Chains A and B, each alone.
Chain A
Amino acid sequence: MIQTLRKPDRIVQPCGFCGGCGHGVIQRLIAECLEELGISDRAINCVDIACCFWTLDGMDLDGIAGPHGRLPAVATGIKKTRPDDIVYIHAGDGASYTIGIAETVHICLRDVPVTMIVVNNGVFGMTGGQMSLGTTLLGQATTSTPRGRNESSNGSPGDFLQALSQFDFEFAARGALYSVKEINRTKQLIKKGFQNQMEKKGFSLIEVLSACPTNWHLSPVAANKRVEEVVAAQFPLRVYKDRGGMSDG
């Protein structure tokens, strides 16, 4: 039988994101994984106050928004009190690796069985494209570094996924969205994060390299090209840790 491809039923509103934004693809990948695994009814979407916030209304799921950068703490509380629910976080790089890095470290150390999806677009998207200390690349022009990020005055970015993966938790991997192949691979990583939760395994952290065409001042096609050629060279796409064992296929 020929498979029909159509948007999951749990996506109930048109996207509020800018044209070409990766958040919309990620929302669909999440909804597809939940649907295919049959866990939409017990999923709880923990959204940050940033561009991902659109998913709170956009998806017909239980959901909660929390203070910027603090969703790992919110999700930890929910998972501890509702251990059979599927709790996931949809947050940005600014929230997860800069403003809320303490909370991200704590959920890794506690190894809470939650699935965290970090959308790394290298800027504070929602507030207008300012530099994100952890992820904005050297030389990258942003609203707050208009002449390009300069090491001596702005410091350097770091590979937080790689650094965090030194801790003892379940799964850490990085995907991207710049081609059909990478989108499909990212979906498998997200699905693995949910399956780990279903199997009562530990914390899963999936980072997705994503474009913010609006704040990068690039067309969506050029922005995706930048992710492929520039960003992925700095932040390699691979599985960083997998206690249960998953080949990087």
Chain B
Amino acid sequence: MAGRKAYADVSLCKGCGLCVEACPVQAIVQTTQLNEKGYEVIQVDADKCIGCGSCYTTCPDYVYEVR
């Protein structure tokens, strides 16, 4: 998994918080930034991300690509 990182399309995010809970290294934070649909979206800290894929597996809205 070395080198793999999570990329988030936050236009799809509903701010449900499930990925924040699932990330094993706390690389995802909830922000107060709104997307076009009016949801407060998450943000990924690429430096912390270990590319494990837990966010992809957990997100019900397909926000993540891990590559």
A residues with a Cβ closer than 8 A to B are 2, 4-7, 11, 14-15, 17-25, 28, 179-180, 183-184, 213, 219-221, 224
**Residues of the B chain whose Cβ atoms lie less than 8 Å from the Cβ of A221:** 16-18, 21
B56 A5 Cβ-Cβ under 8 A: yes
User: What's the count of A-B pairs with C-beta under 8 Å?
Assistant: 73
B residues with a Cβ closer than 8 A to A are 1-4, 12, 14-18, 21-22, 39, 51, 53-54, 56-58, 60-62, 64-67
Output the residue of A18, A183, A220 with the most chain B CB within 10 A. Answer: A220
Output the residue of A20, A28, A221 with the most chain B CB within 10 A. Answer: A20
Give, as a whole number of angstroms, the nearest-CB distance from B39 to chain A: 7
B67 A19 Cβ-Cβ under 8 A: no
Q: How far is the CA of A180 from the CA of B22 in the complex (A)?
A: 8
Q: How far is the CA of A73 from the CA of B44 in the complex (A)?
A: 46
Give, as a whole number of angstroms, the nearest-CB distance from B31 to chain A: 15
Q: How far is the CA of A5 from the CA of B63 in the complex (A)?
A: 11
Give, as a whole number of angstroms, the nearest-CB distance from A221 to chain B: 5
Q: How far is the CA of A14 from the CA of B36 in the complex (A)?
A: 13
Supply 23 A–B pairs (Cβ within 8 Å), ascending by A. Answer: A2-B4, A2-B67, A4-B65, A5-B53, A5-B66, A5-B67, A6-B56, A7-B65, A14-B61, A17-B60, A19-B16, A19-B61, A20-B16, A20-B60, A22-B60, A24-B60, A25-B58, A25-B60, A179-B22, A180-B22, A213-B16, A220-B16, A220-B18
**Residues of the B chain whose Cβ atoms lie less than 8 Å from the Cβ of A6:** 56, 65-67
Task: Beyond A4-B67, A14-B61, A19-B14, list 11 extra A-B contacts (CB 8 Å).
Answer: A2-B2, A5-B64, A5-B66, A14-B12, A19-B15, A19-B60, A20-B18, A183-B57, A220-B17, A221-B21, A224-B18
Q: How far is the CA of A19 from the CA of B58 in the complex (A)?
A: 12
A180 B60 Cβ-Cβ under 8 A: no
Q: How far is the CA of A15 from the CA of B51 in the complex (A)?
A: 24
Select one of B2, B12, B17, B65 contacting A20, CB under 8 A. B17
Closest to B58 in A: A180
Q: How far is the CA of A223 from the CA of B61 in the complex (A)?
A: 17
Q: Which 3 A-B pairs have the closest CB atoms?
A: A24-B60, A19-B14, A20-B16
Output the residue of B15, B21, B39, B61 with the most chain A CB within 10 A. Answer: B61
Give, as a whole number of angstroms, the nearest-CB distance from B18 to chain A: 5
Give, as a whole number of angstroms, the nearest-CB distance from A118 to chain B: 18
Output the residue of B16, B65, B66 with the most chain A CB within 10 A. Answer: B16
Select one of B1, B56, B64 contacting A2, CB under 8 A. B1
Closest to B24 in A: A180
Q: How far is the CA of A23 from the CA of B64 in the complex (A)?
A: 17
